[in-house]
Amino acid sequence: MLRLENLTIEHENNPLGIDVESPRFGWVLWSDESDTFQTAYRIEISSVDTLICDSGKINSKKSIEVVISEFMPVAKTRYELSITVWDNHNSVANIEGHFEMGFMKTKWQSSWIEPVQRPTLPTKDLDQPLTEFEIVTEYNPDRDFTEFQPAQYIRIPYKVDKAIKKARVYLTAHGIYEFTINGITVSDRMFAPDNTSYHKILQYQTYDVSEVLSQGDNVFGIVVADGWWSGRIGATGDSCQYGDKVGILVQGEIEYEDGSIDIIDGKEGKSATGPIVFSDIFVGEKYDARLEKTGWDTPDYDDSDWNPVLIVEYPMSNLVGQYGGGVETIMSFDPKEIINTPEGDIVIDVGQVLAGQLEITLSSEEGRMIRFDHSEVLDKEGNFFNNILGVNKEQVLYYITKEGKQTYRSKFTFHGFRYVRVIGWPGELSVEDVRVHALSSRMQNIGSFHTSNEKINQLQSNIWWSQVSNTLSIPTDCPQRERAGWTGDIMVFAPTMNFNRQSNSFLTRWLANVRADQLKDGAVPMVVPYMKAYKSVSSIFGSETSCGWGDAIIQVPLSMYRSYGDKAALQDNYDAMKRWVLYIQDRAANNHPDDYDKWDLEHQNRSQYLWNTDFHYGDWLVPSMVLGNPDGGAMVETAFKTKGIVAPAYYAFSVKSISEVASILGNEEDVKYYDDLYEKIKYAFIDEYIDEDGIMSTDLQGIYVIALKNGLYTESLKTKLIQRLVQLIHENDDRLDTGFLSIPYLMDMLCQHGERALAYTLLYQTKCPSWLYEVEQGATTMWESWGAIGEDGTVSTYSYNHYAFGCIGDWLYREIGGLKIVEAGYEVFEISPDFSCGLNHVKLSLYTPYGFAKVEWVRKENEVTIIVEIPANTNAIVKIPGNQKRRIGSGRYEFSSIVENEGKIMVN
Ligand code: BGC
């Protein structure tokens, strides 16, 4: 029997308000018969019971990324979608869904409205270059935050006096908002609109309110706060990145059964402030429950002392329909315990480092102030320790009680934390008084990886938690100190991210911002959305980009193509990739190191193929330079010590990768051009940086990894490079010494060059620095720096929630789980786990674009049983020792294998 499931439109189920000219459709086949393939499909699209588009029966096996070229969607129209599929067993199945278009560039009938308000004060003139980074080492406990803004409450009345056929509200804000109708929350979405490069891309959200509106009087209630628009964000904690006043743009469209249509534009709205005395997305909130305006968003409320809103003009060309999921609560649970610290503080231990919010319930007298300070770690003695320092990074909540029983959860702020110090709680605080809410952007969990080794399982859990904490609206470096879209971090982590959760729409949305923020000369900013604060930070280093970081524009779309078969990600970003490579070409050819004039002609000549100038973050955070030196200076040193060789090596990577993209897109002319360029870079690199004994001019593990990854060797040098890499690892006591730009490729390079056993030694290493060192220190997320907690238990002010070093996930799933992509989107994949990896049980499952692929193997002594599941419409190539290599179609299979134990480590 054939069944269809997971019908997607632009990778979402039944999306509302999308602004996409040619939406892509996808569906998943499921069959109880083995070897099932789609032989044909038919797509029918109708609107109001009229068939608009019928593809007819198309003989094709394509079930993902399907576009119907003759379908021209019309603004604000709802379409019913019906997919029929035929398979090779003569079965037929059908699935139905729907989607609705947004404005599609048609004109808005409403205008922006703003509450009467005091504008947010700019923390500094962000158009001026920054010369020094302000370091705060301690917070002022008496800071009153009076310069922060209150949230604004907006009431918009609307009367319904006829039967409603269909009602939609299109809404966005300068700031972030929460939307209710008659006191009822309209959606679970939080922090809307998402963090984008607002002046270029501002998303509006579409709400179906047909069932929410009542006959008679209604009130739209919208609370709006600073958010990423005017709040204090980024590394420097500066306000007013995009504007200094909050406001909203709302357009309600109510269609009645009698054919009439009403537009609600909010012009009659009124505004006031309420209990949220201040709200800043980074710092926190102050909530005075005594100021609550009970019933403010219901019709009977007396708003005679509220101010009429102001109608204001802003350009509307940046407006685009929401793409991908919004921020939501992904998990709620009770904290682990309440701790009385040696210093006498009361601290909630949530049990997990995360990005989220607390919800507290208490009974109190009126007017008591309770303070909550958030942190990710306790100090060596078990006392509260502020690990996130900087300007405007206090991570604090103030709650002032009303009389009686009450519940509070912040609305417009979140924190990166595990521990919360509570000051001023009435009576004894118990775990029952607290709920913990973890937040992230909505994405489907698609991957799971479990082994017989609890430490590896904890590592996987740590990777997952750092992923969800750092995919709150955009891909970020960390969810506390900066929360910035650092391009280098996602460049290295994307393949792992794509396995754990369905990240396609999330990354597509972010990449639109990368394109929008790409600089005129093709440079891809180090942070996207590229807020002013980072422009001013970049003036310290004299560069707005860096090798590896800017490569996100190539590597992220490539990862989406590989993981999800998303070719449009390559197409849509191809021009931007070319501009990025052109930028590098120009920097290499036309800018020279200081002593260039003293070089001989041959040296000068090869320099045009070497990106040997400019600032770069290089192999950021090389452990041997950072461990034991927790101040920012040591971090920057890793950049200066490695940038000179990493940038030219990454130039080769960019060119090699764009050639791969050109080849996938069928652009043979470009392939030839980039392959020629690559050869020139390669030989210039070898001549410049590798001596004949295979010693590189910067003799660090990571540099060998990057050279090997990019084929920067002659055949005779290759073995020498591997030998030196192995030697450096041994000299380092079999521990890591790789930074951001080399670690993603370290394990693969070892495996591909005959050093698999050493890769396992690194994997199971528990001395610092190593993955399992963190696990043994009790980590529940990935840390920014391996030694964030030292061997003697000393804690430092690093971030404890950075996903970058979690990029090993991708290697674990491929090499230990044994699931490897052969053709994009797992249309064809390989199953080849290594039973000698030191484990006796591994269970991996991935919901690919074609359905579930599963691999489970159990080793008892030298006997292995392996069970695999292949989704319909795909093929797997099975390579299992003792079995013939073979290609199989969908279904469930069991194999057995005898492994000769080659004397490798057995962990359990
Ligand atoms: C961030 C990183 C980022 C780096 C640039 C840091 O402050 O947290 O993850 O990529 O700066 O080198």
The predicted-structure confidence for 534-569, as pLDDT tens digits, reads as follows 988 888 888 999 999 999 999 999 999 999 999 999
**What is the pLDDT, as a whole number, of residue 631?**
66
Paired with 436 in beta bridges are 333, 358
Average pLDDT over residues 876-887: 91
| Residue 906 predicted with pLDDT over 90 | no
Q: Across all residues in the chain, what is the average pLDDT?
A: 96
What is the CA(769)–ligand 1 centre distance, in A?
19
Q: Which of 482, 483, 524, 528 to mutate to test the pocket of ligand 1 (most atoms within 8 A of CB)?
A: 482
What is the CA(291)–ligand 1 centre distance, in A?
40
What is the CA(477)–ligand 1 centre distance, in A?
6
Helix 567-590, helix 632-664: angle, nearest 10 = 120
For ligand 1, whether the C-beta of 478 sits within 6 Å is yes
**What is the pLDDT, as a whole number, of residue 128?**
84
Average pLDDT over residues 691-704: 98
Is the peptide bond between 529 and the residue preceding it cis, with omega within 30 degrees of 0? Answer: yes
Q: How does pLDDT run across 134-155, given as a tens digit for each residue?
A: 777 889 989 999 999 999 999 9
What is the CA(160)–ligand 1 centre distance, in A?
52
Ligand 1, atom nearest to 487 Cα: 10
For ligand 1, whether the C-beta of 198 sits within 6 Å is no
Ligand 1, atom 2: nearest CA belongs to which residue? 477
Q: Which phi-psi region, left, alpha or beta, contains residue 883 (left: φ > 0; alpha: ψ -120 to 50)? A: beta
Verify whether residue 784 is a known catalytic residue.
yes
| Residue 902 predicted with pLDDT over 60 | no
For ligand 1, whether the C-beta of 544 sits within 6 Å is no
DSSP, collapsed to helix, strand or coil, labels residue 194 as: coil
Ligand 1, atom nearest to 235 Cα: 7
| Residue 431 predicted with pLDDT over 50 | yes
Catalytic residue among 784, 815, 827, 856: 784
In angstroms, the CA 697 to CA 572 distance is: 38
For ligand 1, whether the C-beta of 619 sits within 6 Å is no
- Whole-number percent of the chain with pLDDT over 70: 99
With cut-offs at 50, 70 and 90, classify the pLDDT of residue 423. very high
* H helix intervals, 147-232: 227-230
In angstroms, the CA 196 to CA 178 distance is: 18
| Residue 88 predicted with pLDDT over 60 | yes
Ligand 1, atom 8: nearest CA belongs to which residue? 477
Query: pTM of the entire structure?
Result: 0.97
Ligand 1, atom nearest to 802 Cα: 9
**What is the pLDDT, as a whole number, of residue 900?**
74
With cut-offs at 50, 70 and 90, classify the pLDDT of residue 381. very high
Catalytic residue among 178, 285, 482, 830: 482
In angstroms, the CA 184 to CA 168 distance is: 16
With cut-offs at 50, 70 and 90, classify the pLDDT of residue 905. very low
Average pLDDT over residues 781-806: 95
What is the CA(239)–ligand 1 centre distance, in A?
20
Average pLDDT over residues 508-531: 98
Verify whether residue 482 is a known catalytic residue.
yes
For ligand 1, whether the C-beta of 615 sits within 6 Å is no
Ligand 1, atom 6: nearest CA belongs to which residue? 477
With cut-offs at 50, 70 and 90, classify the pLDDT of residue 370. very high
Average pLDDT over residues 64-93: 97
Angle at the Cα of 82 from the Cα atoms of 79 and 86, rounded to 5 degrees: 160
Instruction: Report the 10 Å Cβ neighbour count for 833.
Output: 27
| Residue 366 predicted with pLDDT over 70 | yes
Cβ-based neighbours of 484, under 8 Å, separated by 6 or more: 233, 234, 235, 476, 477, 527, 531, 534
**What is the pLDDT, as a whole number, of residue 907?**
40
For ligand 1, whether the C-beta of 482 sits within 6 Å is yes
Q: CB–CB of 266/260 below 8 Å?
A: no
| Residue 904 predicted with pLDDT over 80 | no
| Residue 686 predicted with pLDDT over 50 | yes
Of residues 652, 645, 625, the one with CA closest to residue 738: 625
Q: Which of 480, 526, 620, 631 to mutate to test the pocket of ligand 1 (most atoms within 8 A of CB)?
A: 620
In angstroms, the CA 155 to CA 298 distance is: 9
Ligand 1, atom nearest to 617 Cα: 12
For ligand 1, whether the C-beta of 229 sits within 6 Å is no
In angstroms, the CA 657 to CA 671 distance is: 10
For ligand 1, whether the C-beta of 847 sits within 6 Å is no
For tokens 């519940």, name the residue.
407
What is the CA(136)–ligand 1 centre distance, in A?
18
What is the CA(486)–ligand 1 centre distance, in A?
7
Helices and strands, counts by H and E, the chain: 17, 41
Amino acid at residue number 241? Q
Cα-to-chain-centroid distance, residue 675: 32
Ligand 1, atom nearest to 620 Cα: 12
Amino acid at residue number 722? I
Ligand 1, atom nearest to 635 Cα: 12
Q: How does pLDDT run across 5-48, given as a tens digit for each residue?
A: 999 999 999 999 999 999 999 999 999 999 999 999 999 999 99
For ligand 1, whether the C-beta of 803 sits within 6 Å is no
**What is the pLDDT, as a whole number, of residue 129?**
81
What is the CA(373)–ligand 1 centre distance, in A?
24
Q: Which of 477, 480, 493, 615 to mutate to test the pocket of ligand 1 (most atoms within 8 A of CB)?
A: 477
Q: Which of 233, 393, 486 to mutate to test the pocket of ligand 1 (most atoms within 8 A of CB)?
A: 486
Ligand 1, atom 1: nearest CA belongs to which residue? 477
Ligand 1, atom 9: nearest CA belongs to which residue? 477
For ligand 1, whether the C-beta of 617 sits within 6 Å is yes
With cut-offs at 50, 70 and 90, classify the pLDDT of residue 636. confident
Query: How many C-alpha atoms does 218 have within 13 Å on its Cβ side?
Result: 20
- Whole-number percent of the chain with pLDDT over 90: 94
Of residues 358, 513, 324, 504, the one with CA closest to residue 438: 358
Ligand 1, atom nearest to 549 Cα: 10
Q: Which phi-psi region, left, alpha or beta, contains residue 636 (left: φ > 0; alpha: ψ -120 to 50)? A: alpha
How far, in Å, are 499, 611, 699, 703 from residue 692 at the CA level?
A: 41, 22, 14, 16
What is the CA(837)–ligand 1 centre distance, in A?
33
Of residues 98, 86, 92, 94, the one with CA closest to residue 4: 94
Token digits of residue 626: 């950072």
Average pLDDT over residues 804-824: 98
Q: How does pLDDT run across 229-288, given as a tens digit for each residue?
A: 999 999 999 999 999 999 999 999 999 999 999 999 999 999 999 999 999 999 999 999
Beta-sheet pairing, 202-208 with 319-321: parallel
**What is the pLDDT, as a whole number, of residue 613?**
97
In angstroms, the CA 380 to CA 627 distance is: 17
Token digits of residue 900: 């000769």
